[in-house]
């Protein structure tokens, strides 16, 4: 049954509550999509989320009835005020919680959606970055009357920073611009230009009206010129991060499980790639390796395990590996990093202090930091950095870190799950900042100009000459570049992939 | 495994990941076991997380002495059959003072026999982490709850001390006097819990299934007369009704629904088609505005 049909048949379902659903009782949904909504209340964010819930989800009847009975109408219309469905969450805003993210769940016929809602006020950088770090796809909401704004630019920059790969520009309130195709195409073009600067795999603009429901779950009759998907159709096709995790095997060891003398299992979740019985795996920190002889779960042993699966690996030799290790294939290892360059979103109310005594939290390791320096702050509107020595809440800081001992870390843009970091205050335990590794080096002193740089032109003319500019091919472009970088790095070459061009060329200066 | 894991597979893996993170980072964890369906799933996930090793922490049940008899029998049998260490704690002082859910407001009863009792037990045994089955979908005040939810000394929940959680990184480094509540099922929904019970063929307390039971209707809610302590008031009478429970707690505070669902399949069908969200049956939530919010600050969760 389509989403559309679900809405229409509501009354029929009520009439015969049991029989219809019994055949797919244990119906398991085809996956989970974590959805971040960015935008301010003025852009119609609550109305859009409310409309999604109303049209496409499995809301309880008492929740629907509340909306109908309230008599509250969307501004200037005779339609129910769908933003009411979020009222509970809005009231809870007064908790004063430091990072303020609300989670809401709904199911369509094929997928579980998790709405991650972060407030749009001025403290939004850290809130949004925190929420976006969990998102598979982000809806960036703009008002059709004002189009792409500075705020849109900052939002997309944050999404890119924390690794969101799929972005939807919801051009809302199309009813207020007379459903004009010209208005939409102009905004769409601005958005394309903006997104070209980032590493998104898919950036789609959809014209809609949250109040009237046009192109939310039902195709708009007012915009016959638009032939693309509705918002919900598009979201249902968006893959999750875990399903798009790269092919490079990573297994951060969480803990060691024992059962008598015969079983010593390395417990963890495969964060990318896959592993099968017979594979040789290595711990890059100790250089110890072994062959996987058993992949254990309570539901029986597996032949292989892939990204997202929580398992326990038993090796043929009893190597001294414990929490903090990241298992990989011998030829595709993470770096046993002594120095890390990273971009951090500063989350804490307390400012950076060079003498505070921070720890670096990696996938499963917690490592003392022997030296940390802030090199600069990133301007989210231009993506240019300016020199700085300090940083505070909501800043994006570029930092250079020397570790007290080596830790297994990847470059985030290549192998995201094992390239994420937290900065932890060693005394209070507080999480000061969340960040991504941009460069990792196994040597204690990193040569400043020693990088081999994989240039985009060079890759485009050779290795990637068969690829077009489509989003699928851009994804493939990055995948190949990442694999080359990983191979070179495993061979001891310090390597970086040329970053996308800076933001200041060809852009409308008003953006 | 199929190529594309289902949403239940993903939720299960996430919960296992959280259990392992907590067990590795905290010195002395405990699983808050409340016997209901969420606890049943929570315990099952804990067993999966550490298989083939036994669950490496005890279960803690805070017994108010007002639980349904079937719950206590189920609790004891589960612990025995799975070979788990079970700690049962009651606030004996509160019992001596005669606090009970029939004569006292639910808020007082809950504070003394649940909230205070839980704090006593955590302090008595020195647990630094307690696993709970709470879910973000349960109601609005939980929608922002963290997976690792920190408590300052005295178990107080301080909104400003809650740590941001990014990606899958769970920071469990405790400050002085801090403890933590861990919620491995944060991202599950009520429907997921039931679907998972059906898929994994888990046994739950029989009270979840419809049967003829002695009932009293009070304030429009159906209560079960589980023992002689609950007596009809003027104008009320004890009548047999075919009922079941959507949530389980202290029996005088837990409303039943009339139902014919006698099997797990029928219960799941009823839940999936439910027209109202589950907490309508939990009387303590209606006691005062913002009830759950207040209880959370006081350390109930």
Please, what are the domains in chain A? 3-243 (3.40.50.300), 245-328 (2.40.30.10), 334-446 (2.40.30.10), 447-511 (3.40.50.300)
Best CA proximity match to B46, nearest among B130, B126, B115: B130
pLDDT (mean) for B21-32: 97
What would you report as the CA-atom Rg of chain B, rounded to the nearest whole angstrom? 19
- List the alpha helices (DSSP H) in B200-275: 264-272
Give the right CATH number for B7-194+290-298 from 3.40.50.620, 3.40.50.1970, 3.40.50.720, 3.40.50.300: 3.40.50.620
Helix, strand, coil percentages (3-state) for chain B, rounded to 5, are 40, 15, 45
**Nearest CB neighbour to A91, from listed B140, B165, B199:** B140
Record: contact A312-B198, CB cut-off 8 A: no
Across A475-481, average pLDDT: 77
- The pLDDT, as a whole number, for residue A9 is 35
Instruction: State whether residue B164 sits within 8 Å of chain A by CB.
Output: yes
Q: Which of A96, A296, A310 sits opposite B160 (nearest CB)?
A: A96
Least confident range of A37-51, A398-412, B132-146, B252-266: A37-51
The yes-or-no verdict on residue A83 having pLDDT over 50 is: yes
pLDDT of residue A15: 34
For the beta carbon of residue B102, count every other beta carbon within 10 angstroms.
13
Distance CA B102, CA B237 (A): 16
Residues A245-280 have pLDDT tens digits of: 788 999 999 999 998 888 999 999 999 999 999 999
- Comparing alpha-carbon positions, the chain B residue that sits nearest to A13 is B273
Token readout for B242 is 């075919």
Residue B8 has pLDDT above 80, yes or no: yes
In contact, A111 and B7? CB cutoff 8 Å: yes
Average pLDDT (B152-156) is: 87
Q: Does residue A26 carry a pLDDT above 90?
A: no
Q: pLDDT at residue A304 above 90?
A: yes
CB B41 within 8 A of CB A65: no
Classify residue B2 by burial, with Cβ atoms within 10 Å: 0-12, 13-18, 19+: exposed
pLDDT bucket at A1, cuts 50 / 70 / 90: very low
Partner-chain contact B1 A347, CB within 8 Å: no
> What is the 8-class DSSP label of residue A19?
T
Tell the residue number behind the tokens 């932890």, with chain if given: A424
Structure-model confidence comparison of residues B29 and B143, the more confident one: B29
Which has the closest alpha carbon to A170: A113, A228, A119? A228
Taking the C-alpha atoms of residue B241 and residue A69, their distance in angstroms, rounded to an integer, is: 32
As a whole number of angstroms, the distance between CA A275 and CA B224 comes to: 53
pTM listed for this prediction: 0.86
Q: What is the mean pLDDT of residues A25-45?
A: 81
Q: Is A304 helix (H, G, I), strand (E, B) or coil?
A: strand
The pairing of strands A431-441 and A335-346 is antiparallel
Whether the per-residue pLDDT at B288 is higher than 50: the answer is no
Q: Is residue A23 packed enough to be buried (19+ CB in 10 Å), middle (13-18) or exposed (0-12)?
A: exposed
Task: Give the distance from residue A321's alpha carbon to the nearest chain B alpha carbon, in angstroms.
Answer: 14
Chain A residues near residue B165 by CB distance under 8 angstroms: 130, 431
Flag if A429 and B53 touch (Cβ within 8 Å): no
**pLDDT for the residue A465:** 80
Q: pLDDT confidence of A471, banded at 50, 70, 90?
A: low
Band (A98; pLDDT cuts 50, 70, 90)? low
User: What confidence tens digit (pLDDT) does each residue in B184-232 have?
Assistant: 999 999 889 999 999 999 999 999 999 999 999 999 999 999 999 999 9
- Summarised one tens digit per residue, pLDDT across range A363-391 is 999 999 999 999 999 998 888 899 999 99
> According to the model, what pLDDT value does residue B276 have?
58
Which residues 1-40 in chain B show a CB within 8 A of chain A? 1, 4-14, 16-17, 20-21, 23-24
Looking at chain A from residue 5 to 44, which residues have their Cβ under 8 Å from any Cβ of chain B?
Answer: 13-14, 17-18, 21-22, 25-32
Specify the pLDDT at position A13: 34
Instruction: Check B7 against A31: CB less than 8 A apart.
Output: yes
Could you tell me if B301 and B122 are in contact, meaning their C-beta atoms sit under 8 angstroms apart?
A: no
Compare CB distances from B199 to A26, A361, A417 and report the shortest one's residue: A26
Residue with tokens 């060329």: A505
Residue B110: CB partners within 8 Å, gap ≥ 6? B284, B295, B300
A431 touches chain B (CB under 8 A): yes
Residue B156 has pLDDT above 90, yes or no: no
Locate B114 and state its tokens: 């649940």
Of A401, A404, A405, A438, nearest in space to A419 by CA: A438
At A196, the pLDDT band (50, 70, 90 cuts) reads confident
What's the CA gap between B281 and A318, in Å, rounded?
53
pLDDT at A505: 37
Q: Is A276 in a helix, a strand, or coil?
A: strand
Which two three-digit tokens encode residue A421? 């970091």
HSE-up (13 A, CA, CB side) for residue A187? 29
The percentage of residues in chain B with a pLDDT greater than 90, rounded to a whole number, is: 71
pLDDT band, residue B92 (cuts 50/70/90): very high
Query: Among B207, B255, B214, which Cα is nearest to B232's?
Result: B214
Is residue B253 very low, low, confident or very high in pLDDT (cuts 50, 70, 90)?
Answer: very high
A3-12, A21-30, A440-449, B173-182 — most confident range: B173-182
End-to-end CA distance of chain A: 42
pLDDT category at A458 given cuts 50, 70, 90 is: confident
* Whether the predicted pLDDT of A508 surpasses 50: no
Pairwise pLDDT comparison (A5 vs A474), residue with the higher score? A474
For chain A, percent helix, then strand, then coil, each to nearest 5?
25, 30, 45
CA dist B67 to B70, B84, B204, Å? 8, 21, 15
Around A254, how many Cα atoms within 13 Å sit in the side-chain half-sphere?
A: 29
B57 and B24 Cβ atoms separated by less than 8 Å: no
CB B71 within 8 A of CB B205: yes
Taking CB atoms and an 8 Å limit, are A242 and B293 in contact across chains?
no
Distance from CA of A8 to the nearest CA of B (A): 17
Q: What are phi and psi of A78, to 5 degrees?
A: -105, 20
- Mark yes or no for CB contact B175/A430 under 8 Å: yes
Across A105-114, A144-153, A340-349, B286-295, the highest mean pLDDT is recorded for A340-349
Q: Would the pLDDT of A468 be above 80?
A: no
Answer whether residue A61 shows pLDDT above 80.
no
Separation CA A157–CA A152 (nearest Å): 9
CB-defined contacts A:B, below 8 A? 211
pLDDT (0 to 100) of residue A479? 75
Tell me how far apart the alpha carbons of residues B86 and B30 are, in angstroms, rounded to a whole number: 10
Please give the residue that has the higher pLDDT: either A317 or B282.
A317
How far is Cα A196 from Cα A247, in angstroms, rounded to an integer?
25
Mutate to test the interface with A, among B169, B176, B263 (most CBs of A within 10 A): B169
Q: Which two tokens stand for residue A100?
A: 């303020």
pLDDT band at B289 (very low <50, low <70, confident <90, very high): very low
A449 pLDDT band, cuts 50/70/90, is low
Q: Is B175 a residue whose pLDDT tops 70?
A: yes
How far apart CA A54 and CA A364 sit, in angstroms, is 40
Domain residue ranges in chain B: 7-194+290-298, 209-284
């Amino acid at each position: 049954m389509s989403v559309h049909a679900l809405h229409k048949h509501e009354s029929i379902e009520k009439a015969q509550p049991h029989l219809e659903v019994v055949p797919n009782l244990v119906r398991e949904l085809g996956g989970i999509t974590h959805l971040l909504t960015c935008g301010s209340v003025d852009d119609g964010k609550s109305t859009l989320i409310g409309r999604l819930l109303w049209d496409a989800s499995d809301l309880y009847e008492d929740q629907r009835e509340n909306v109908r009975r309230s008599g509250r109408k969307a501004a200037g219309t005779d339609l129910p005020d769908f933003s009411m469905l979020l009222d509970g969450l809005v009231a809870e805003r007064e908790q004063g919680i430091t990072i303020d993210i609300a989670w809401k769940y709904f199911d369509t016929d094929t997928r579980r959606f998790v709405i991650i809602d972060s407030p749009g006020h001025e403290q939004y950088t850290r809130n949004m970055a925190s929420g976006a770090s969990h998102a598979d796809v982000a809806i960036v909401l703009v008002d059709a009357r004002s189009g792409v704004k500075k705020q849109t630019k900052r939002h997309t920059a944050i999404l890119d920073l924390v690794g969101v790969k799929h972005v939807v520009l919801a051009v809302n309130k199309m009813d207020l611009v007379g459903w004009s195709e010209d208005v939409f195409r102009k905004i769409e073009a601005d958005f394309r230009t903006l997104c070209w600067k980032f590493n998104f795999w898919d950036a789609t603009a959809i014209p809609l009206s949250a109040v009237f429901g046009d192109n939310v779950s039902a195709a708009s009759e007012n915009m016959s010129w638009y032939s693309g998907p509705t918002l919900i159709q598009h979201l249902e096709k968006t893959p999750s991060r875990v399903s798009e995790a790269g092919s490079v095997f990573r297994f951060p060891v969480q803990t060691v499980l024992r059962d008598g003398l015969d079983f010593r299992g390395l417990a963890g979740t495969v964060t990318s790639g896959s592993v099968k019985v017979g594979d040789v795996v290595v711990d890059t920190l100790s250089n110890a390796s072994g062959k996987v002889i058993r992949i254990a779960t309570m539901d029986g042993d597996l032949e292989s395990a892939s990204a997202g699966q929580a398992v326990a690996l038993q090796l043929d030799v009893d190597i001294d590996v414990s929490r903090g290790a990241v298992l990989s294939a011998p030829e595709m290892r993470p770096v046993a990093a002594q120095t890390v360059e990273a971009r951090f979103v500063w989350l804490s109310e307390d400012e950076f202090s060079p003498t505070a005594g921070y720890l670096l939290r990696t996938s499963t390791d917690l490592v003392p930091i022997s030296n940390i320096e802030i090199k600069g702050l990133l301007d989210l509107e231009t993506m240019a950095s300016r020199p700085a020595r300090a940083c505070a809440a909501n800043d994006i800081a570029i930092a250079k870190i020397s570790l007290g001992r080596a830790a297994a870390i990847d470059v985030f843009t290549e192998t995201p799950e094992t390239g994420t970091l937290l900065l932890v205050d060693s005394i209070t335990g507080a999480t000061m900042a969340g960040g991504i590794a941009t460069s990792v080096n196994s040597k204690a002193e990193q040569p400043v100009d020693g990088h081999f740089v994989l240039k985009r032109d060079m890759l485009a003319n050779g290795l990637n000459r068969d690829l077009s500019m489509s989003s699928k091919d851009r994804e493939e472009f990055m995948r190949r570049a990442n694999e080359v970088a990983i191979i070179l790095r495993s061979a001891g070459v310090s390597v970086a992939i040329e970053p996308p061009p800076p933001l200041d060329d060809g852009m409308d200066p008003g953006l | 495994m199929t190529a594309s894991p289902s949403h239940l597979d993903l939720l299960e893996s996430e919960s296992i990941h959280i259990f392992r993170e907590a067990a590795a980072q905290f010195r002395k964890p405990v699983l808050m076991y409340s016997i209901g369906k969420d606890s049943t799933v929570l315990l099952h996930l804990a067993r999966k997380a550490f298989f083939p090793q036994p669950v490496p922490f005890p279960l803690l049940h805070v017994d108010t002495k007002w639980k349904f008899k079937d719950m206590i029998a189920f609790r004891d049998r589960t612990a025995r059959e799975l070979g788990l260490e079970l700690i049962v704690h009651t606030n004996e002082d509160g019992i001596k003072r005669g606090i009970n859910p029939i004569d006292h407001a639910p808020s007082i009863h809950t504070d003394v026999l649940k909230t205070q009792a839980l704090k006593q037990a955590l302090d008595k045994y020195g647990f630094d982490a307690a696993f709970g089955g709470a879910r973000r979908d349960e109601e609005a005040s939980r929608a922002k709850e963290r997976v690792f939810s920190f408590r300052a000394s005295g178990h107080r929940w301080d909104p400003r001390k809650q740590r941001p959680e990014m990606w899958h990184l769970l920071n469990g480094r405790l400050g002085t006097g801090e403890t933590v509540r861990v919620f491995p099922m944060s991202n599950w929904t009520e429907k997921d819990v039931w679907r998972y019970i059906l898929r994994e063929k888990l046994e739950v307390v029989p009270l979840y299934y419809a049967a003829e039971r002695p009932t009293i209707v009070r304030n429009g809610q159906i209560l079960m007369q589980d023992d002689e302590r609950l007596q009809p008031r003027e104008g009320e009478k004890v009548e047999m009704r075919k009922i079941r429970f959507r949530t389980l707690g202290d029996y005088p505070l837990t409303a039943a629904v009339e139902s014919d669902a006698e099997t797990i399949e029928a219960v799941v069908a009823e839940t999936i088609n439910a027209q109202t969200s589950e907490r309508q049956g939990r009387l303590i939530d209606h006691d005062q505005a913002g009830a759950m919010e207040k209880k959370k600050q006081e350390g109930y969760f």
